[in-house]
Amino acid sequence: MTLRIRPGELEDVPLIAELIRGLARYEKLEREVVMTEEKLTAGLFGEHRYAETLIAENDGEPVGFALFFHNFSTFLAQPGIYLEDLFVVPEQRGRGVGRALLERLARVAVDRGCGRLEWAVLDWNRDAITFYERLGANANSDWTVYRLTGQPLRALAGE
Q: Which pTM value belongs to this model? A: 0.93
- Number of structural domains in the chain: 1
Neighbours of 113 (CB within 10 A): 8
The amino acid occupying position 77 is A
Nearest to 101 by CA among 74, 149, 62, 159: 62
* Contact status, residue 88 vs residue 99, Cβ threshold 8 Å: no
33-59 CB burial, b ≥16 within 10 A, e <16: eeeeeeebeeebbeeeeeebbbbbebe
Per-residue confidence (pLDDT) for residue 142, from 0 to 100 = 86
Check which CATH number belongs to the domain holding 108 and give it: 3.40.630.30
For residues 155 and 146, what is the distance between their CA atoms, to the nearest angstrom? 16
pLDDT in tens, the chain (159 residues): 799 999 999 999 999 999 999 999 999 999 999 999 999 999 999 999 999 999 999 999 999 999 999 999 999 999 999 999 999 999 999 999 999 999 999 999 999 999 999 999 998 999 999 999 999 999 988 888 899 988 999 999 999
Full domain range(s) for residue 116: 3-156
* Contact status, residue 23 vs residue 85, Cβ threshold 8 Å: yes
* Cα-based angle 147, 80, 45 (whole degrees, multiple of 5): 75
Active site (catalytic) residues:
132
